[in-house]
Amino acid sequence: MSQKKRVFSKTKEAREAATGYIFLAPALILLSIFLLYPMGVMFYYSFTDFYILTPDDRSFIGLDNFRGIIDDAQFRQAFWNTVYFTVIVVPVQMAVALGLALLVNKKLKGRTFFRTAYFSPVVMSLVVVSILWTFMYNPSEGLINELLSIVGIPEQPFLTSPDQAMNSIIAMSVWQGAGFQMMIFLAGLQNIPDHLYEAADIDGASTWQKFLHVTIPGLRNISLFIFITITIAAFKLLVQPMIMTQGGPLGSTKSLVYHIYEVGFNYRDVGYASAMAVVFTVIVLIVAIIQRKLASEERG
């Protein structure tokens, strides 16, 4: 009897597993075609001198591409630009998103309007937003300088100065992206049970204390999620400098992904671009692992 039952449950298990795999199949197939396979190809190309114009005489050159990266000034500059962008954008965008979420969480008149308004940049194409901001940043005719001139601040070369261009792109990126994280924070805020605030009230906590000791801890998991997703998205910076500054002036806004794109498609050096992409993947992977470590320590 027991024997029979086991057999029965085994086939049932097998059948359930099979069903599971069938459900997984579409995702797995798509992931394989559009992610795993290209990654494999990229890894392979990174050891070759694949030049687009001569696809047939591609040869294996070992680690030459990777050696080339070491003394590639352009790569170094792009790397540090990307790090700078990420290090500034992540905290600023999180703070702005949280601030907006707190605002639109208040029971104010017209808050639906504000939620929509703050979210709207997210649904707009990044290309369009970049073009619009390019106009707004224009020193002589742009909206922002016009406003600054009212309060007596001279024209700022937002996108044409090597010192300001990246910061201008950061400001625009925060504006564009924060709405999305605002929505997630908002969901998080609404999940914090009211009784915690009531208890804090009874204990005589001030608004600030409530924020610090109830709201912030209540948002911990969501914050970690947002932290990780913004970081990875920030590393992938591409569209804004491509449209707004072409990586200039003096390469001050050239990001890693942009540099890889340029080498691969404009200079047609797919082998070298693949090697840089491999290095980039490893960098992002390390950052993600560190973040996960920090996250689990915090939880534990």
Partner 1 sequence: MNKKWKMTLPTLALLTAVACGGEEATETENGEVDENGEETNEETNEGTSDDVETGEADTEVQATGDEDVVLDFWIHQTGEDETNFYIERIDAFNDAHEDIHVDTEIIIDDGASAYSDSINAALVAGELPDVMAIDGPYTASFADADVIQSIDEYISDEDREDFVDSIIQQGTYDGSLYTLGAMEGSVSLFYNKDIFEEEGIDVPTSVDEAWDWDEFKDVAEQLTTDERYGLNKFWNYGIGEYMTFSGAPFVWSNGGALIAEDGSTADGYLNGPEAVEAFEYIQSLFDAGVVSNSPGEMQFEEGNAAMALGGPWIAISAEDADLNWGMMPYPVKDEPVSPSGSMAYGMTTNSEHPEEAYELMAWMTNAESTEGLAEVTGMPPARESAFENMERFEELPWSVMKEQVTETARARPATPAYPVLTDAFAEIYNAASLDQDLQQVADQQVERVERELQRFAD
Using CB under 8 A as the criterion, what x/- string covers residues 92-131 for binding partner 1?
--------------------------------xx-xx--x
Q: Would you state the structure tokens that stand for residue 11, as one six-digit string?
A: 């086939």
Q: Which of residues 44, 251, 287, 295 is near partner 1 by CB under 8 A?
A: 251
Report the distance separating Cα 9 and Cα 146, nearest Å.
74
Q: Which of 121, 215, 234, 262 binds partner 1 (CB under 8 A)?
A: 262
Burial of 86 (0-12, 13-18, 19+ CB in 10 A): buried
Q: Is residue 95 a contact partner of residue 182, using CB atoms and an 8 Å limit?
A: no
Taking the complex as a whole, the smallest distance from the CB of residue 246 to partner 1 amounts, in Å, to 4
Does position 245 interact with partner 1 (CB under 8 A)? The reply is: yes
- Residue 206 is given by DSSP the state -
The contacts of residue 42 (CB under 8 Å, 6+ apart) are 274, 277, 278
Stretch touching partner 1 by CB under 8 A, among 87-95, 167-175, 189-197, 263-271 = 263-271
Rg for the chain (alpha carbons), in Å? 25
Which amino acid would we find at residue 300?
G
Q: Which of 46, 81, 138, 274 binds partner 1 (CB under 8 A)?
A: 138
Q: Whole-angstrom Cα distance, residue 98 to residue 101?
A: 5
Among 78, 97, 144, 159, binds partner 1 (CB under 8 A): 159
**Which range binds partner 1 by CB under 8 A, 26-34, 35-43, 96-104, 267-275?**
267-275
Q: Which residue stretch of 34-42, 166-174, 249-257, 279-287 sits at the interface with partner 1 (rule: CB under 8 A)?
A: 249-257
Q: Are the C-beta atoms of residues 101 and 186 closer than 8 Å to each other? A: yes
**Binder among 19, 246, 281, 296 for partner 1 (CB under 8 A):** 246
Of 68 and 218, nearer to partner 1 (C-beta) is 68
- Is 248 one of the binding residues for partner 1 (CB under 8 A)? yes
- Residues 37-56 contacting partner 1, CB under 8 A: 51-55
Selected from 66, 69, 162, 197, the binder of partner 1 by CB under 8 A is 162
**Is the four-CA dihedral 9, 10, 12, 17 of positive or negative sign?**
positive
Nearer to partner 1, 20 or 38 (CB): 38
Indicate which single residue of 3, 206, 207, 266 sits in contact with partner 1 (rule: CB under 8 A).
Answer: 266
* Binder among 161, 164, 167, 291 for partner 1 (CB under 8 A): 161
Taking a C-beta distance cutoff of 8 angstroms, is the pair 188, 222 a contact? yes
Q: Does 139 bind partner 1 (CB under 8 A)?
A: yes
Question: Total residues at the site for partner 1 (CB under 8 A)?
Answer: 43
Q: State yes or no: residue 70 binds partner 1 (CB under 8 A).
A: no
| Contact criterion met (CB below 8 Å) for 255 and 165 | no
CA distance 103 to 100: 5
Nearest to 227 by CA among 106, 87, 129: 87
- Residue 298 CA to residue 224 CA, distance in Å, equals 10
Q: Is 250 in the site for partner 1 (CB under 8 A)?
A: yes
Q: Residue 169 and residue 244: Cα distance in Å, rounded?
A: 8
Contact set with partner 1 (CB under 8 A):
51-55, 68, 72-74, 124-125, 127-128, 131-132, 134, 138-141, 157, 159-162, 239, 242-243, 245-251, 258, 261-262, 265-269
